[in-house]
Structure 1
Amino acid sequence: MQINSLRTEGRLTPEQAPNQLSFQNKKSPNTLIRTALSAISYFIFYFLQQVAEIFAPMLLIIGLVWKFIPTLLHSMMHLTDNADPQIRDIVTNGSNLIPTSINFSGYTLSASTLIFWGILLLALAALSATLTSFFGYKN
């Protein structure tokens, strides 16, 4: 008899159970709105993080290559001073073919701007990762 009474002490009676369950399923509108806003912001920041992690290394690598290839070609011009005149002309013309900047409808794109945008996207990825973990931890 004592064992059965111990088992039912913490349980609800059949009359209490439907009332208790219906109370647990009701959520306030503020909780639902907060959860929805948290899910939307989590999606936005996670999406921004993914896009930034794709484009940031690409912009950094393109910018660094664009910045150092003309420097390498100009240093090769000094090595070709004693070489054949045709090789000297090829190296000189090749180094002049690489532009220092490109203009797109009023916007100047250069190696430095690509490096800057790559670093800015890295910072955006870090910020988005921080905010994503904050919103994921909050709920």
Structure 2
Amino acid sequence: MSDQVIFSQPYGSVLVDASVPCVITQWHAFANATDFIALQQFALDYFEAHSTPAKPWGWVGDVRQMGAIPAKAQAWLIAEFNPRATAAGLREVSVVVAETVFGQIATQRYAQGTAEARNQYVLQTAFYDSLASAKAGARQAAQPA
């Protein structure tokens, strides 16, 4: 099954692949904090509506073309996104590695902030070199324990 686009802006898109199943946030360029949060929020709302304990979904962050993540958006990811996503059953964010140094730094900061918040929730960040391998990782991570 191919990816279905459910939200699209010049800076990024939200896709779903029901065969995995997973939500994919795909970044095309830099997004300011408001736009970044809006796209992630849209994807999170979809994830919460479709992931269940009986059939958990995965999450892929395709950040190959992403730029920096503004500090306000980084803080929102750690304080708001991660707790809600883990409450909805997410255990791993599968990240396709950024091609730009700004994207690499941004995702490393996210992974570090997520790891530092382990007393609040448990969420892993795994890095992959392609969308296909990230989807495979998301499928594996979403398997019920």
What TM-score comes out, normalization by structure 1 length? 0.22
| Bigger RCO of structures 1 and 2 (CA < 8 A, at least 6 apart) | 1
Q: Choose between structure 1 and 2: higher helix proportion.
A: 1
**Structure exhibiting the larger radius of gyration computed from Cα positions:** 1
